[in-house]
Copies of this chain bind each other. A is one copy, B any other.
Amino acid sequence: MLKKLTHLTIFLSAISAGLQAQPADKLTSFVNPFIGTGAVDASSLSGSNFPGATVPFGFVQLSPDTQDNPDNPASGYDHNDKTIVGFSHTHLSGTGVADLFDVLFMPATGEVKTVPGEADKPGSGYRSRFSHNEESARPGYYQVKLSDYNVNAELTATEHTGFHRYTFPAGAKSQVIIDMNHSLNKKRSYWSCRIIGAELRVIDNKTIEGYRILTGWAKMRKIYFRAEFSRPFSSHKMINGQRVYENEVFVNGTNIKSVLNFGENNKEPLLVKVGLSPVSLENAKMNMDQEISGWDFEKVVSEAENKWEQELEKIHIEGTKEQKQIFYTGLYHAFTQPNNMADVNGEYQASDFTIRKADDKKHYSTFSLWDTYRAAHPLYTLIQQERTADFINSMFRQYDTYGYLPIWQLWGDENYCMIGNHAIPVIVDAALKGLKGFDIGKAYEAVKGSSVRTHPGSPFDLWNKYHFMPENQQSQSVSITLEMAYDDWCVAQLAKKLNKTDDYTYFMARSMYYKNLYDSQTGFFRAKNDDGKWVSPFNPLQYGGNGGNPYTEGNAWQYFWYVPQDVKGLISLVGGDKAFITKLDQFFTLKDLPGEVNGNASGFIGQYAHGNEPSHHAAYLYNYAGQPWKTQAYVAQVLNELYNNSFSGYSGNEDCGQMSSWYIFSAMGFYPVNPANSIYAIGSPVLPKAVIHLPGKDFTVTTKNPSKKNLYIQSVKLNGKSYNKTYITHQDIVKGGTLEFTMGPQPNKKWGVSADARPLDSAFK
């Protein structure tokens, strides 16, 4: 990959004069947007990331789609594909479900077919073949040579505007296709995706506007655009299904497209700015006008890159080039969302489908919370503190108009994907850490309200009645019981901080309900029906998916560890340290897989599956039972074997920053096992140096002798003093200081094993 990028930089400067390769000391130079864009083979998972152009947390994410009706990967781009169907302006990064892909543009030459064409069939539709040798990407910039048309396409973006530069071959009949039906042809039927209405309208010979209204994973999305070209088109077609209208001003329908003809005088590249808005055509124009004046493509590329550089500078690391590439691409992926859905005037679509106005002009969405509450949001509370408050204020808006905090919020709208109410740990964590910019009273109202009002997947009436979820009344009952108990613990912590003693007692009691599904006979958390009897037969290897089974995207082995609020209680449930360690050892070594493994489970070490979230904290649990060197060994194994800097660099879907955030924390040496207790368990650091830049101060982590062999901690110093605990607190970090690790090839079985070395239940009294 590295070799290829170097080659591409040369190719790029040859074909697009003026675009300077970035100086090597820029952190953006370590970001490889192709990481996570494909799987090595059909048995593994793509990270489901897209390689296209975006600014941090931007609404427009302009990227090539290799699939017309993307499903897997959900990013629309598969590194293994050989053709590109065009460039659409909105994408999801790392998700398991596909949506968005709005307003596809495709430059072409010659006689163009007006259907998208079948993937990877050369000459099919308006697709073009491409080669990774003629493709490059860096933060805020993407480039590809479309070989069937001999067109070089370059993309950059601002918050709401995509900027394209197409270099057509001299004398070729140059055209641009705009496809408003992209992503929603007849093949794609899940989530009942359907275009409700769409329009294209020629404003003048340099301008076209349009929109589409659709239902899909996001229940109802409206997406408006305005495109302005650097030179006039001489004629155009409007297409409605099979009907082609020559030079018509308007077309309305559900399957509409346009082909704009720019003639054969291609001395200058053709530029097009595409402003987008989820509110109106007027706002799309306003967004574009405010963000890009004139036609300086290089300037917009450079501004986008500077924005990324500024965000990446939150943490400076030393390490190998591969480590830097994984780390900074990880930060890049973590900062790709949530996305600010508000237009430049603050208007956004609220969860009640009205248009409302955010005074601060920020309304974030794409909250993949079942994934991101684990490590991505704790990372934001460290290095995106202002945005964390913005995220929380955005979540409050759903609470106000929808009644519950987000579960999985897409395009400002709840889709009830996955389980739990994991906005709660996000908000409680930020509140306990003392982040400013949101109202703590409102925070408590929202986390409590979302914990008492029964809603889909959260039947609190059953919870209060049975003290566990009965599988015959609520499927995924074991996973929900465990995750709900955790969320309840979080509510209790905020109640405690606010001296709401009764609430504290109530929610603490609920947080212990996890014990009611522990089956001491099998040694697992196991489903009961509402008659209180265990559901049989029981096989701890058996996988569940997203309903119809007590476990969510996992099995009883993977969910066994999900008591982050009470690891001590879990250890005691299983019979003490020794039994717990034995079970963990088994977990990491038991290789049996049943006939059917859930598609999200991948990246196996025994039963541990790093490719999906339920396992993410498990390797750190040895710290809690006195054998931290085993945490170090397995964390090192994950860091070294389950991440790399290739297109298939993740062991599963990247999941909106969660997979990357695991690496970012773990590579620095610590990880938030309980994402809301301000405690980080120490693992196996791999970076010689990492400096976290915090407001006014730095926290520096240094590691002596790190290597793939030197994976064991020999000793630790915190602020110069010998440190024997297997955790640090959030307070240790934010007050600034240094954490020094010394590594070696053999475990130091004396470090971190004393009783007081074990991670606390909470950093707060």
Contact = CB atoms under 8 A, between A and B. Distances in A.
A21 interface: no
B219 A213 contact: yes
A280 B357 CA distance: 14
Given A222-B353, A354-B279, A250 B404 contact: yes
A196 B215 contact: yes
A196 B211 contact: no
Contact of A453 (B215, B248, B355, B403): B248
Contacts of A197: 219-220, 353, 413
A11 interface: no
Contacts of A456: 240, 243, 252-253
A279 B454 CA distance: 28
A469 to B, nearest CB: 13
Given A199-B352, A353-B213, A252 B455 contact: yes
Contacts of A353: 197, 211, 213, 222
Contacts of A413: 197
Given A192-B194, A196-B219, A213-B220, A461 B250 contact: no
B243 A280 contact: no
A281 interface: yes
Contacts of A246: 461
Interface string A230-251: 0000000000100101101111
A538 interface: no
Contacts of A253: 456
Contacts of A251: 403, 455
A402 interface: yes
A245 B452 CA distance: 11
A249 B279 CA distance: 29
Number of copies: 2
Contact of A454 (B199, B213, B219, B248): B248
A487 interface: no
Interface in A161-201: 192, 194, 196-197, 199, 201
Interface in A432-481: 453-456, 459, 461
A413 B215 CA distance: 17
B201 A250 contact: no
Contacts of A250: 402-404, 453, 455
A526 B239 CA distance: 29
A343 interface: no
A414 interface: yes
Contacts of A220: 196-197, 213, 220
Contacts of A245: 454, 461
Nearest to A243: B459
Contacts of A215: 194, 196, 215
Interface in A252-271: 252-253
Contact of A249 (B192, B196, B403): B403
Contact of A402 (B222, B252, B459): B252
A456 B245 CA distance: 11
A83 B280 CA distance: 45
Interface residues on A, range: 35 or more
Nearest to A212: B353
A414 B254 CA distance: 13
A131 B250 CA distance: 53
Contacts of A281: 352, 354
Interface string A387-429: 0000000000000001110000000011000000000000000
A219 B454 CA distance: 32
A108 B120 CA distance: 61
A246 to B, nearest CB: 7
Nearest to A211: B352
A201 B455 CA distance: 13
Interface string A353-372: 11100000000000000000
A263 B42 CA distance: 62
A222 B351 CA distance: 13
A253 B414 CA distance: 10
Nearest to A403: B250
Centre residue among A249, A402, A403 by max chain B CB count within 10 A: A403
Contacts of A224: 352
Contacts of A404: 250, 252
A211 B220 CA distance: 14
Nearest to A449: B249
A604 B32 CA distance: 75
Interface string A593-624: 00000000000000000000000000000000
B414 A252 contact: yes
Nearest to A402: B252
A585 B196 CA distance: 48
A199 B402 contact: yes
A48 to B, nearest CB: 26
A245 B474 CA distance: 14
A453 B249 contact: yes
A668 to B, nearest CB: 40
Contacts of A453: 248-250
A453 to B, nearest CB: 5
Centre residue among A199, A240, A279, A281 by max chain B CB count within 10 A: A199
Contacts of A403: 199, 201, 249-252
Centre residue among A192, A213, A250 by max chain B CB count within 10 A: A250
Contacts of A461: 245-246
A224 B243 CA distance: 37
Interface in A622-655: none
A361 to B, nearest CB: 19
Contacts of A243: 454, 456, 459
A414 B246 CA distance: 22
Interface string A572-609: 00000000000000000000000000000000000000
Contacts of A280: 352, 354
20 contacts: A196-B219, A196-B220, A197-B413, A199-B403, A211-B353, A213-B219, A220-B220, A222-B354, A240-B455, A243-B456, A243-B459, A246-B461, A248-B453, A249-B403, A250-B404, A252-B403, A252-B404, A252-B414, A253-B456, A280-B352
Closest 5 CB pairs of A and B: A250-B403, A280-B354, A245-B454, A197-B219, A196-B219
Given A201-B403, A248-B453, 6 more contacts: A213-B219, A245-B454, A250-B453, A252-B455, A252-B456, A281-B354
